[in-house]
């Protein structure tokens, strides 16, 4: 047996997570049984949904048990295999958690395919975040040529993909981001038609000026005061794919104001389509997404940005910062070469 490292959930947070909610520990890696694979983690994806896994509140997925390894998808190298599909040296992705190594069923692993792009994109632009953007826009948002698509957290892995796909569909892309640097990236490098800083005192009026014909598709990643500014601008029959509410994940913001009456009134009066979704609902379309987006990304037609932190031990601090906008691009932890 080999001694390896993992990060466990030490306690459930109240409000914002802190370092005390995580514990770095060593454990003995068991031998793989028939049908299992031993993997060495290379890159770990950090994503906002993990905050929900730290809570025992009712959700669409089971919480991480206290003392259990933190939930997460990683790109890994196969070290040993007792599964017919995999051999040592294969590069795979799977939900192996915040761990330097893991022994898992080979059935839960997928080969990494990036159409020539760096392998880190398999947990970013060509992984769950990119697929979330593509599926939410394709099956719910359905932008038409000339329409206005607005997306919050536009410099992040989901929002940046939403805007670029909207542009490819012939729509106007308006991004919402936090701070001058992120706004400049969204406008100058990603090619959005406009970008508004949600930290600005003139945020609401600036968004209105950037959307003179209203909003036809709003891709919701944030909630909170961003939703307050978007709601009055939604056109009749606007579509709102809801994939995240990061402003509320730490329990703050939900009691600031009661948004429900105004939101429900607008849904009724303007015939709005508000559709929450989890990207796994559309899993059968993943290969279609990869074939459509992969070559464009590898060719540089679709751009992305990654924020890579070195060392498994630094994952908790990076994750805590991400929940308040501290990252710039897809947040990834490099665990090994």
**Comparison of pLDDT for 245 and 97, the residue scoring more:** 97
Q: 3-class DSSP state for residue 18? A: coil
Percent of the chain scored above 90 by pLDDT? 84
Give the tokens for residue 198. 């949600």
Q: How far is CA 52 from the centre of its chain?
A: 13
Who wins on pLDDT, 235 or 116?
235
Structure tokens at 166: 């909207």
Pair of tokens at residue 297: 């990304």
Are 151 and 195 in contact by the 8 Å Cβ rule? The answer is no
> Comparing C-alpha atoms, which of 201, 147, 138 is closest to residue 174?
147
Q: Which of 225, 192, 224 is nearest to 211 (CA)?
A: 192
Confidence check: pLDDT of 256 > 80 = no
Output 279-285 pairs: Cβ under 8 A, ≥24 positions apart: 279/128, 279/131, 279/132, 279/135, 279/136, 279/243, 281/135, 282/131, 282/135, 282/139, 285/135, 285/138
Q: Which tokens belong to 57?
A: 């509140």
Confidence class for position 222, pLDDT limits 50, 70, 90:
confident
Q: How does pLDDT run across 26-66, given as a tens digit for each residue?
A: 999 999 999 999 999 999 999 989 998 999 888 788 899 99
Instruction: Tell me the domain boundaries of the chain.
Output: 2-124+305-334, 128-280
Task: List, for residues 183-195, the tens digit of each pLDDT value.
Answer: 999 999 999 999 9
Q: Which CATH superfamily is domain 128-280 in?
A: NAD(P)-binding Rossmann-like Domain (3.40.50.720)
Looking at residue 249, its pLDDT comes to 56
pLDDT band, very low/low/confident/very high, at 253 (cuts 50, 70, 90):
very low
Q: Report the pLDDT value the prediction gives residue 127, as an integer from 0 to 100.
A: 96
pLDDT band at 254 (very low <50, low <70, confident <90, very high): very low
pTM: 0.89
Helices (H), 137-232: 157-168, 180-184, 203-210, 224-230
Tell me the CATH number for domain 2-124+305-334: 3.90.180.10
Tokens of 222: 């944030």
pLDDT above 70 as % of the chain: 96
Would you say the CATH fold of 128-280 matches that of 2-124+305-334?
A: no
Average pLDDT, integer, range 324-336? 93
């Amino acid at each position: 047996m080999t001694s390896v490292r993992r990060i466990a959930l030490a306690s459930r947070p109240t409000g914002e997570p802190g370092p005390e909610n995580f514990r770095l520990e060593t454990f003995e890696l068991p031998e793989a049984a028939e049908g299992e694979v031993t993997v060495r983690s290379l890159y770990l994806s950090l994503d906002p949904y993990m905050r929900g896994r730290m809570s025992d509140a009712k959700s669409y997925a089971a919480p991480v048990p206290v003392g259990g390894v933190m939930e997460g998808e990683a790109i890994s190298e196969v070290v040993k295999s007792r599964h017919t599909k995999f051999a040592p040296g294969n590069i795979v992705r799977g939900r192996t958690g915040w761990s330097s190594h893991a022994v898992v069923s080979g059935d839960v692993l997928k080969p990494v395919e990036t159409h020539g792009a760096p392998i880190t994109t398999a947990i970013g632009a060509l992984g769950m975040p990119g697929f979330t953007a593509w599926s939410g826009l394709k099956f719910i948002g359905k932008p038409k040529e000339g329409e206005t698509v607005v997306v919050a957290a536009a410099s992040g892995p989901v929002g940046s993909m939403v805007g670029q796909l909207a542009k490819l569909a012939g729509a106007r892309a308006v991004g919402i981001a936090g701070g001058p640097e992120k706004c400049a990236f969204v406008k100058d490098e990603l090619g959005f038609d406009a970008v508004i800083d949600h930290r600005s005192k003139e945020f609401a009026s600036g968004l209105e000026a950037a959307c003179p014909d209203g909003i036809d598709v709003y891709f919701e990643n944030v909630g909170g005061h961003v939703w307050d500014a978007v709601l009055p601008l939604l056109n009749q029959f606007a579509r709102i794919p809801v994939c995240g509410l990061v402003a509320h994940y730490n329990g703050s913001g939900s009691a600031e104001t009661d948004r429900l009456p105004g939101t429900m009134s607008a849904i009724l009066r303007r015939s709005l389509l508000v559709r929450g979704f989890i990207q796994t609902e559309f899993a059968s379309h993943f290969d279609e997404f990869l074939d459509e987006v992969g070559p464009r990304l590898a060719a540089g037609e679709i751009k992305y940005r990654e924020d890579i932190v070195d060392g498994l031990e630094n994952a908790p601090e990076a994750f805590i910062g991400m929940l308040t906008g501290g990252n710039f691009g897809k947040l990834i932890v490099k665990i090994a070469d």
